[in-house]
Every structure is written in structure tokens, then in C-alpha cells.
Amino acid sequence: MSDLLVHQIPSAWGLPSVGPFCLKLETYLRMVEIPYQSAIDATPFRGPKGKLPWIEHEEKKIGDSGLIIEYLESRFGCDADARLSGPERSMRTGPSHGT
């Protein structure tokens, strides 16, 4: 059983969560195959930033999907983009905004 607990918005419409940032985090976790458990929160106020999603892991509480993913990458050494080639990675980040 995983000690990573993900707090997120309830599911609906066949989606695991109706929150876009909750979906982002859950998709990331599936892609890098980090085991986790979900806790459904009707309100986000208990989280460290007062919004969902947030995680509890190793006595830490971390909010904001971007910060959570950064933490998980450093803690577990995972990279969702590892299978991408150089050109595929550049497509992911988008075109340059230079002239």
C-alpha cells in the first residue's frame, strides 16, 4: 500500500475528478507509475494552499499540482517525458517566442 495520499475533488461524468489540476496530477501519477491513494475532499480548505489537489507524503503536506509534480520527480526520480525524443520534447514545450 502506498503512503502517498492525494486529496482531490470528487469524480463525475466518468472522470476520476472534475478538477483540471486534479486530473493533471492523477494523469502524471499514472504515467510514471507512482502508487497512491485518493482522498475525496468536498472542500479544499484543509490543504496547505487552501485548494485542491494536495498531497500527504512522508509527513509533508504539499499543495499546487506543479509543486507536487516537482516534489515527486525529485523524490522518486521519475520523468514523464523520459520516453520522448528531442524533437518530441520541443513540441511539448511549444515554439519559441523569439523573432
CATH number at residue 81: 3.40.30.10
Q: What is the pLDDT of residue 88?
A: 78
Q: Is residue 36 part of a domain?
A: yes
Residue whose cell numbers read 472542500: 43
Q: What is the pLDDT of residue 94?
A: 54
Local confidence pLDDT in tens for the 99 residues of the chain: 469 999 998 888 888 788 899 999 999 999 999 999 999 987 778 889 999 999 999 999 999 999 999 999 999 999 888 888 888 777 765 555 444
This prediction's pTM: 0.82
Q: Is residue 60 part of a domain?
A: yes
> How many angstroms separate the CA atoms of 80 and 76, rounded?
12
Q: How many domains does the structure of the chain reveal?
A: 1
Q: What is the pLDDT of residue 18?
A: 80
Q: Is residue 99 part of a domain?
A: no
Q: What is the pLDDT of residue 93?
A: 58
> How many angstroms separate the CA atoms of 59 and 75, rounded?
13
Cis peptide bond upstream of 10, omega within 30: no
Q: Residue 63 belongs to what domain range?
A: 5-93
Q: Is residue 70 part of a domain?
A: yes
> How many angstroms separate the CA atoms of 99 and 95, rounded?
11
Instruction: Give, as one character, the DSSP assignment of residue 11.
Output: P
Q: How many CB atoms lie within 10 A of CB 1?
A: 5
